[in-house]
């Protein structure tokens, strides 16, 4: 018994003086672990006679519980004080002013593409893509623009050096070749839009050698001009966020559509001020038409069974009109002051999509 009293007071003092969680754990192992001192004494019980074993067993059990409880209690207070020490040591002063950090913003071209895709996506178009470097056949011939066609001159094409005359490689002059790629790869019904970069050798306030277009293509068994008109009127009104925006279709010519049309929206130009909406003037914004049967045939689609409509619009032009940006070249000058002025917050849900 004396021996136990001495062990008790030794262990209790050690627990009381322990400096932290690690030290407490060491004490626990040395007393109560597999090779611990109390465990060792308990093992010795077996060799005692029943009377002595009962008495010693009770005393050892009491000591074991007492030490275990003391260790647990001390562990709790140690953990609390260790946390307190950390909290005071690592205090954060939330009243300090924030560091001057600049936030990036979305380029108006990306924003405009997102808006166009959001509106047409709601109309169940899916997005398709194609290569920037095209061959002559996809960019021109399959679209019913044969080699001697005047439309080829209008495109101010960048030809890649080294490619042969028959099937020259070009930087695509429009997104229309993706119509061909899609029709060659998939069977109707087709309902796609194609946002992407396009290239023409031209540079002034309304032209840049690299610019962006969005192409649209629908091919199905009963597609007609009414679908084309409904889709594009809806699109223009949603894009410019004006439910009653006047939209008109003016006859035009594109080799890959028949009939072809240009879409104008209403505007006013009074006293040097330009405004989209009601007025007595019109502004051309995109080209469209019913897919020329020759184009369907070039893609092995039977024009007796399928019809389609297509459209193409210039992203820079749409962005300039919607956001009042006067010079197209500024889109690509990488001037951060310009971008901060015309850019969009990355944390805004695609906005300005009216009517949806
Ligand atoms: N590819 C034409 C261009 O770049 C735009 C265009 C007009 C596309 C009419 C079309 C369309 O799909 O039907 O000028």
Pocket test of ligand 1: the residue of 130, 210, 219, 254 to mutate, having most ligand atoms within 8 Å of its CB, is 254
User: What's the structural domain count of the chain?
Assistant: 2
Q: In percent, how much of the chain has pLDDT > 70? A: 96
How many angstroms separate the alpha carbon of residue 334 from the centre of ligand 1?
A: 28
Task: Examine the domain organization and report whether 299 and 272 are in the same domain.
Answer: yes
Q: What is the 3-state secondary structure of 284-351?
A: EEEEEEEECHHHHHHCCCCCCCCEEEEEEEEHHHHHHHHHCCCCHHHHHCCCHHHHHHHCEECCCCCC
Highest mean pLDDT, choosing among 35-39, 77-81, 191-195: 191-195
- Does residue 16 register a pLDDT over 50? yes
Structure tokens at 54: 């009962």
Beta bridge partners of 312: 215, 287
Task: Examine the domain organization and report whether 179 and 321 are in the same domain.
Answer: yes
Highest mean pLDDT, choosing among 10-14, 91-95, 276-280, 288-292: 288-292
Task: Examine the domain organization and report whether 141 and 43 are in the same domain.
Answer: no
Summarize pLDDT for 154-190 with one digit per residue, the tens: 778 999 987 666 678 999 999 999 999 999 999 999 9
- Does residue 101 register a pLDDT over 90? no
| Number of CB atoms found within 10 A of residue 150's CB | 8
Task: Examine the domain organization and report whether 150 and 253 are in the same domain.
Answer: yes
Contact partners, residue 83, CB within 8 Å, separation at least 6: none
Closest C-alpha among 268, 262, 276 to residue 323: 276
Section 209-226 average pLDDT: 97
- Does residue 240 register a pLDDT over 60? yes
Residue 353 falls within a domain, yes or no? no
The verdict on the CB of residue 176 being under 6 Å from ligand 1 is yes
CATH of the domain at 243: 3.30.930.10
How many angstroms separate the alpha carbon of residue 221 from the centre of ligand 1?
A: 22
DSSP alpha helix (H) spans, 18-49: 21-32, 37-43
Instruction: Name the band, by pLDDT with cuts 50, 70 and 90, for residue 355.
Output: very low
Task: Examine the domain organization and report whether 33 and 138 are in the same domain.
Answer: no
Q: What residue has token string 């007609």? A: 224
- Does residue 236 register a pLDDT over 60? yes
Q: What residue has token string 């006067």? A: 326
Section 120-125 average pLDDT: 97
Indicate whether this model's pTM tops 0.75. no
| Structural domain that includes position 114 | 108-348
The verdict on the CB of residue 311 being under 6 Å from ligand 1 is yes
DSSP state of 103: P
Instruction: Name the more confident of 352 and 20.
Output: 20
Phi/psi for 255 (5° steps) reads -60, -30
Task: Examine the domain organization and report whether 15 and 159 are in the same domain.
Answer: no
Summarize pLDDT for 37-73 with one digit per residue, the tens: 889 888 888 888 888 888 888 888 988 898 889 888 8
Residue 95 falls within a domain, yes or no? no
Average pLDDT, the chain: 91
Section 269-274 average pLDDT: 83
Task: Examine the domain organization and report whether 28 and 135 are in the same domain.
Answer: no
How many angstroms separate the alpha carbon of residue 174 from the centre of ligand 1?
A: 7
Strands 126-127 and 190-199: parallel
Task: Examine the domain organization and report whether 155 and 221 are in the same domain.
Answer: yes
How many angstroms separate the alpha carbon of residue 329 from the centre of ligand 1?
A: 22
Task: Examine the domain organization and report whether 172 and 33 are in the same domain.
Answer: no
Task: Examine the domain organization and report whether 80 and 113 are in the same domain.
Answer: no
- Does residue 141 register a pLDDT over 90? yes
Which protein residue's CA is at the shortest distance from atom 7 of ligand 1? 287
Phi/psi for 23 (5° steps) reads -65, -40
Q: What is the 3-state secondary structure of 230-277?
A: HHHHHHHHHHCCCCCCCEEEEEEEECCEEEEEEEEEEEEEECCEEEEC
What distance in Å separates the CA atoms of residue 114 and residue 120, rounded to the nearest whole number?
A: 10
Evaluate whether 166 touches 202 at the Cβ level (below 8 Å): no
Q: Ligand 1, closest atom to CA 257?
A: 13
Element counts in the chain: helices (H) and strands (E):
12, 12
- Does residue 342 register a pLDDT over 80? yes
What distance in Å separates the CA atoms of residue 318 and residue 306, rounded to the nearest whole number?
A: 31
Residue 9 falls within a domain, yes or no? yes
The verdict on the CB of residue 254 being under 6 Å from ligand 1 is yes
CA geometry: angle at 173 spanning 231 and 302, to 5°? 55
């Amino acid at each position: 018994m004396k021996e136990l009293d001495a062990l008790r007071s030794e262990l209790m003092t050690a627990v009381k003086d322990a400096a932290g969680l690690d030290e407490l754990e060491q004490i626990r192992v040395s007393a109560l672990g597999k090779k611990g001192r109390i465990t060792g004494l308990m093992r010795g019980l077996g060799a005692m006679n029943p009377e002595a074993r009962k008495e010693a067993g009770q005393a050892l059990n009491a000591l074991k519980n007492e030490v275990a409880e003391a260790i647990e209690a001390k562990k709790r207070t140690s953990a609390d004080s260790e946390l307190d020490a950390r909290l005071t040591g690592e205090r954060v002063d939330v009243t300090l002013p924030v560091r001057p950090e600049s936030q990036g913003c979305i380029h108006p071209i990306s924003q405009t593409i997102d808006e166009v895709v959001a509106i047409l996506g709601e109309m169940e178009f899916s997005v398709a893509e194609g290569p920037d470097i095209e061959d002559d056949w996809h960019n021109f011939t399959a679209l019913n623009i044969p080699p001697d066609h005047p439309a080829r001159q209008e495109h101010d094409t960048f030809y890649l050096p080294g490619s042969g005359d028959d099937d020259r490689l070009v930087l695509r002059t429009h997104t229309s070749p993706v119509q061909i790629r899609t029709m060659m790869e998939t069977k109707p019904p087709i309902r796609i839009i194609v946002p992407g970069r396009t290239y023409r050798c031209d540079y002034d306030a309304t032209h840049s050698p690299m610019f962006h277009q969005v192409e649209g293509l629908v091919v199905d068994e009963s597609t007609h001009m009414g679908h084309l008109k409904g889709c594009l009127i809806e699109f223009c009104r949603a894009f410019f966020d004006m439910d009653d925006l006047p939209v008109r279709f003016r006859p035009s010519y594109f080799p890959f559509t028949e009939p072809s049309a240009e879409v104008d929206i209403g505007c006013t130009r009074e006293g040097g001020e330009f405004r989209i909406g009601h007025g007595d003037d019109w502004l051309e914004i995109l080209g469209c038409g019913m897919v020329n049967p020759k184009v369907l045939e070039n893609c092995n689609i039977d024009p007796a069974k399928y019809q389609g409509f297509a459209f193409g619009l210039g992203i820079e032009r749409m962005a300039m009109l919607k956001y009042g940006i006067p010079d197209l070249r500024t889109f690509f000058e990488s001037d951060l002051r310009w971008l901060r002025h015309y850019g969009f917050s990355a944390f805004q849900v695609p906005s300005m999509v009216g009517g949806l």
